[in-house]
């Protein structure tokens, strides 16, 4: 099959699979606001969607617009974030909402360039929001997209450890030219990587392009690149920081230092993590060795 015909077949099959098999998520509804899409993209970074959805629904009910969140205290955002992970994202969302009110009339900006100007928004989030909220066919590249393209097009088990220019160029070259098909492709190839072409135990028997996949056709050769280590959790600073924040979330007022000192394996680590939370703006120090979420 000629390269152009093969790519067109990939588009048709993956997009068709998504229409049949894609998850029914609230931020994918046609009537979801750009703010709802923006929230989902920030919340979903390195976080399973099953954990994101209940928190997203709570936030949309409590803060249905950027202006609603901007009027809340930053600590309310951190508290409502719960254990979603990487809590600095809650502060960045609050800051982004404030900028939307101050510079964009309380709306999510609709251009890629203006989205990049929001606090905490990088290339992926700007492209995803432009595409999924406003129908602009930007090139959207996340870990799932990179893995699908590495396997289906390049015949490799995994992409590089970090995004390369070559991978970005590949994603751009694989985009359909027609606007609507391109926007569907962006979410469809991402969904395929999340549900079928997964990192461990890929379900090739359920893949709509298994007979076109370069990696599958080559006999699924093993990965031979640098070691891919999973992120540790137990006993790490991330775990301790999360435990400190959880104690502050559930408190009815400021918490004295003595009630935080056993939040980790040793006091030195707890103090280091507490200092880092204060430096990040996630915790506010008060007099008499008391701490609270930012007001």
Model pTM score: 0.83
More confident residue, 232 or 113: 113
Q: pLDDT tens-digit profile of 108-117? A: 999 999 999 9
Task: Give me the domains of the chain, ranges plus CATH numbers.
Answer: 3-134 (1.10.340.30), 143-217 (1.10.1670.10), 237-292 (1.10.10)
Alpha helices in the chain (DSSP H): 3-21, 34-43, 49-62, 66-70, 74-81, 88-103, 112-116, 123-134, 143-152, 165-174, 179-195, 214-217, 237-250, 267-279
Position 278 scores a pLDDT of: 92
Q: What is the DSSP letter of 26?
A: G
Return the closest-CA partner of residue 97 out of 35, 32, 55: 35
Active site residue 114: no
- Integer Cα distance of 169 and 285 in angstroms: 46
Using the structure block, give the residue that is written with the tokens 């640098």. Answer: 226
Q: How confident is the model at residue 234 (pLDDT cuts 50, 70, 90)?
A: confident
Q: Integer distance in angstroms from the first to the last C-alpha of the chain?
A: 62
DSSP-based three-state secondary structure for 27: helix
Q: 21, 41, 58, 180: which one is catalytic?
A: 41
Mean pLDDT of 139-143: 95
């Amino acid at each position: 099959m000629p390269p152009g015909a093969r790519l067109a077949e990939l588009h048709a099959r993956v997009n068709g699979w998504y229409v049949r098999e894609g998850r029914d998520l609230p931020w994918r509804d046609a009537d979801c606001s750009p703010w709802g899409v923006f929230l989902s993209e920030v919340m979903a970074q390195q976080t399973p969607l099953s954990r994101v959805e209940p928190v997203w629904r709570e936030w949309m009910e409590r803060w249905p617009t950027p202006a609603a969140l901007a009027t809340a205290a930053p600590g309310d955002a951190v508290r409502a974030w719960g254990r979603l992970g990487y809590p600095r994202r809650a502060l960045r969302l609050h800051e982004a909402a404030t900028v939307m009110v101050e510079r964009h009339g309380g709306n999510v900006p609709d251009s890629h360039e203006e989205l990049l100007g929001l606090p905490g928004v990088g290339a992926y989030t700007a492209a995803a929001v432009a595409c999924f909220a406003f129908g602009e066919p930007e090139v959207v590249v996340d870990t799932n997209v990179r893995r699908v393209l590495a396997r289906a097009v390049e015949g490799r088990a995994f992409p590089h450890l970090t995004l390369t220019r070559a991978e970005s160029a590949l994603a751009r070259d694989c985009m359909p030219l027609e606007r609507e098909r391109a926007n569907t492709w962006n979410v469809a190839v991402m969904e395929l990587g999340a549900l079928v072409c997964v990192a461990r135990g890929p379900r090739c028997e359920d893949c709509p392009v298994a007979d076109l996949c370069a990696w599958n056709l080559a006999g699924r050769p093993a990965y031979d690149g640098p070691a891919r280590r999973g992120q540790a959790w137990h006993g790490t600073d991330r775990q301790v920081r999360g435990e400190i924040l959880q104690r502050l979330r559930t408190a009815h007022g400021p918490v004295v230092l003595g009630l935080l000192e056993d939040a980790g394996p040793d006091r030195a680590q707890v103090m280091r993590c507490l200092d880092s939370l204060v430096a990040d703006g996630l915790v506010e120090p008060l007099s008499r060795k008391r701490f609270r979420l930012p007001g």
